[in-house]
Structure 1
């Protein structure tokens, strides 16, 4: 029997595969918008207790005089090595966050490629007693698509690890 989590993953992969197939017909912009709508809805359904923050809201927060949130990158090391949000920590597991001795009441924003892995980590953080955890909706792909800053080794970059060929279709091409 296939678990509910596996079914969600299968649905996400099949929707991304459909986007890949449709790309042969021209511009991906309308299809990318539709795919983002589907991906975000599926993530919200799978992780209903996880609070979300949009890329625009995070950008405003980071540009304000308010104390910034702790940014946690939940991707694999090879993805983080290509680029990440400025100031982000690569702590892809609950154990890594706990080992870093992060305060349970710290404002935390978790991100990954599109938001699924980060929502899963955010849910685990909530269950472990962290009280102010948010998932960056659209994660690094949408952050990049909106022209927000990324870094590698402390230097600006436009590169983003595509995770794989299918999911990479959600990344907008540079103008």
Structure 2
């Protein structure tokens, strides 16, 4: 519970809750039918991502590309990044573009992996590696093999 409170505090420092959160447990439920978008950079995605996630990036995010891939603005979309900070920003851009069912994965891929849910490499093979973005942010990743580059 202590870790949860610390993560809450971190996310409140960076986010304004403009995009509702979805828990890793809820996303992992078999009947949760959503489109998952990975808002991290390509080197992070290549190392580890949630199965079937579409890489959309952060620095080079392109809303026109999303409009082509997801034409239905009523699609249920979950955006994630490492912890849920960059993904809120991308979620805001999706909402601005008219997507109305956008959620932000609470704690991002770190929480996903911390709860022992599988991540996959570029070859769609399960991996224990997790890209941790930087030394500073790596403290939030408790499970797996930390990769920085």
Matched, 1:47 2:47: no
Does the 8 A contact of 1:47 with 1:123 survive in 2? no
CA RMSD of aligned residues (A): 2.1
Instruction: Select which of 115, 118, 128 maps to 2:97.
Output: 128
1:163 counterpart residue number = 133
Does the 8 A contact of 1:47 with 1:120 survive in 2? no
CA distance in 1, matches of 2:5, 2:119: 25
Moved over 4 A (4+): none
Matched, 1:89 2:54: yes
Deviation of 1:48 after TM superposition, in Å, equals 2.7
The TM-score with structure 2 as length reference comes to 0.85
Gap regions ≥5 residues in structure 1: 1-28
Identify the structure with the greater helix proportion.
1
CA distance in 2, matches of 1:49, 1:36: 17
CA distance in 2, matches of 1:35, 1:48: 16
* Aligned positions, number: 140
CA distance in 1, matches of 2:88, 2:43: 20
Does the 8 A contact of 2:18 with 2:88 survive in 1? no
2:73 counterpart residue number = 104
Deviation of 1:33 after TM superposition, in Å, equals 4.6
Does the 8 A contact of 1:145 with 1:172 survive in 2? yes
The alpha-carbon distance between structure 1 residues 166 and 34, as it changes in their structure 2 partners (threshold 3 A), is farther
Larger radius of gyration: 1
C-alpha deviations, 1:66-93, integer Å up to 9, x for none? 5x20000000000000010001000122
Matched, 1:118 2:87: yes
